[in-house]
Amino acid sequence: MNFLSIDTSTKYSVVVIRDKGGKVHGCRRLFEKGRADRLAALIVECLKRSGLEIGAMDYFGVGVGPGSFTGLRIGLSIIKGLSYALKKPCLVFSSLDAIAFNNAPYKKGRLCVMVDAKRSNVYSRFYDIAESSVGSSCVNPVRNLISNGVKARPPKDALLSLPVLLQKIGTSMAFSGDAIDLYRKDILAKVKAPQFLAQRFWYPTPESITSLTQESFRLKKAVDCFKLSASYLYAQDCQVSSLLKR
């Protein structure tokens, strides 16, 4: 199976191509401006590295958020266009999972992924870590879900205010995501000796979105481009239906 997968939920654009032989060709770039054009160029770069044509893709993987509204719209538009033109299905995954399952050096306990959602809110999900992954040689983030005991807790991805988030966190807690920069002091006042992961683990990686796309394929979560939609969580960020009713 050849697939091209992207995630544009954060300030980083992540693109990866996995070929049928299992080789992975990925890039992660920070684009402050001109994201749409540069994302297309990043896809071309990965295609050149892989030696494949875009028509050789069997599936297109995409992180559906939650995250940056503009970033998600750009990424989903590109994947929808490719899927429609080439008549190939899409494989979707949570962008918060793409942060959680990135082979970080977790300690046993719980993990809170927290991404800045503006307005003193965060996009968040909690995970259980059954055993330490420090020093692990495993490079497959979804395999870490089993071998290192990282498991998502219900409910699913959520939009939480900071006070509500602080009520949910407890001891033996690790934190990842760009909201750490904003709320580090609040967390330190609540949690004794929290584990703040290094900044390089705050964002999806080519390896994590590769594994999540494979997991989506295994679970038969393929959808066509007409059913592809972003997980915005903010109700007011999808105003089309409400405007039509006025």
Q: Rounded to an integer, what distance in angstroms lies between the CA atom of residue 95 and that of residue 157?
A: 9
Q: What is the largest CA-CA distance in the chain?
A: 57
* 222: phi then psi, degrees, rounded to nearest 5: -70, 140
Model's pTM, two decimal places?
A: 0.88
Closest CA to 209 of 32, 46, 53: 46
Strands 109-116 and 12-18: unpaired
Tens-digit pLDDT profile for the chain (246 aa)? 999 999 999 999 999 999 999 999 999 999 877 888 999 999 999 999 999 999 999 999 999 999 999 999 999 999 999 999 999 999 999 999 999 998 888 888 899 999 999 999 999 999 998 865 544 434 444 444 433 567 888 889 999 999 999 999 988 899 999 999 999 999 999 998 899 999 999 999 999 999 999 999 999 999 999 999 999 998 755 544 443 444
The long-range contacts involving 223-227, CB below 8 angstroms and separated by at least 24 positions, are: 223/89, 223/90, 223/92, 224/83, 224/89, 224/90, 225/79, 225/80, 225/81, 225/83, 225/84, 225/90
